[in-house]
Every structure is written in C-alpha cells, then in structure tokens.
C-alpha cells in the first residue's frame, strides 16, 4: 500500500504541517481516521500532557480501534488517538464548557509538538494513546503556533485534519 499523508492545520493562524499515516503500525486506527476525513474541531491545549494540542470529535469508527502502537511518552510529531467516555471527560476539572457537548464516546485526535510529554492524568492515572501518524514536514512552524496557543489562548481557533 502506498503511503498516505494528511495535512494538520491551525486554521485561523494559517499554519499547517504534513503527516504520514503509520498504516504499518496502527492499520485499524489509520483506516478509521482516513475514512472520517476531513475533520475539524475547536482546538485545546493540554493541561496534563504538556506539549500537545488536540480536538474532540464524536466517535466516527464503526468499532473503536484496539490499543495498537500504544505510548504514554509521545515524541514531537506524533499524532495520537484517544477514546474517552462521557464520564471521563464530563467533569468541570477538564474545562469543557458543556457536558452535553461530550458524547457517550469522544475521540481525541492530538498532535504533540515538543518533547518531554507524559500521558499521566492526576484524576485517572496513565492514559495510553495510539500513535497513528508522524509529522514529516512543517513541525517547527506548527510548534511555534502551538506555543502561541499556550501563551495567548485557543479561543476561536480550530484544528483540522484533511487528506493531503
């Protein structure tokens, strides 16, 4: 199978990077994401994992993928897939404005832009993610934009994933 690529973008800032899907290591996750593209959602900056931006989506796979190619220590350029229940995300400590905006199953698609990340949540413990893609071009510019999100806020910004 030929390599598949996607564009990850911060739409308002006009910043994008290109990622290669890791179909050899996470085939079920890659296929689920590929079939769901394009996806766009409000961007969030991580509280716990450090150097991460992400968007939340209603479950889009017929069946959630198993924990293939898992990590709790993502590296710069990793794209990770997480699945959460409404109980896991529907607490005030997570800061989501409306509990009803969180469905019974929510998919978190994340981009890690710098090192020293640890997927450890004080409320729930270890939160392994599926590494399903890796950024191959544009990570430095995206990392700068992610730092800007951290310092100046995410309000009004969206994170999108599209086939390249």
- CATH number for position 136: 2.40.100.20
User: pLDDT, tens digit, for every residue of 17-74?
Assistant: 999 999 999 999 999 999 999 999 999 999 878 999 999 999 999 999 999 999 999 9
User: From its phi and psi, is residue 71 left (phi > 0), alpha (psi between -120 and 50) or beta?
Assistant: beta
Number of domains in the chain: 1
User: pLDDT, tens digit, for every residue of 137-157?
Assistant: 999 999 999 999 999 999 999
Closest Cα partner for 105 from 65, 50, 59?
59
93 has pLDDT over 70: no
Domain of residue 52 covers: 5-92+100-163
For the chain, helix, strand, coil in percent to 5 are: 20, 40, 40
């Amino acid at each position: 199978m030929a390599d598949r690529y996607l564009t990850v973008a911060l739409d308002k800032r006009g910043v994008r990077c290109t990622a290669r899907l890791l179909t050899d290591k996470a085939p079920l996750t890659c296929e689920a994401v590929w079939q769901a593209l394009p996806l766009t959602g409000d961007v969030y900056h991580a509280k716990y994992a450090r150097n991460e931006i992400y968007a939340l989506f209603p479950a889009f796979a017929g069946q959630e993928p198993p924990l293939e190619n898992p990590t709790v220590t993502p590296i710069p350029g990793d794209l990770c897939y997480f699945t959460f229940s409404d109980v896991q995300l529907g607490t005030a400590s997570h800061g989501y404005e409306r509990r009803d905006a969180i469905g019974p199953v929510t998919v978190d698609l994340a981009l890690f832009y710098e090192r020293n990340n640890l997927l450890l949540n004080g409320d729930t413990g270890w939160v392994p993610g599926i590494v399903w893609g890796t950024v191959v071009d544009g990570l430095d510019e995206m990392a700068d934009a992610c730092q800007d999100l951290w310092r100046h806020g995410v309000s009004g910004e969206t994170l999108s994933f599209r086939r390249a």
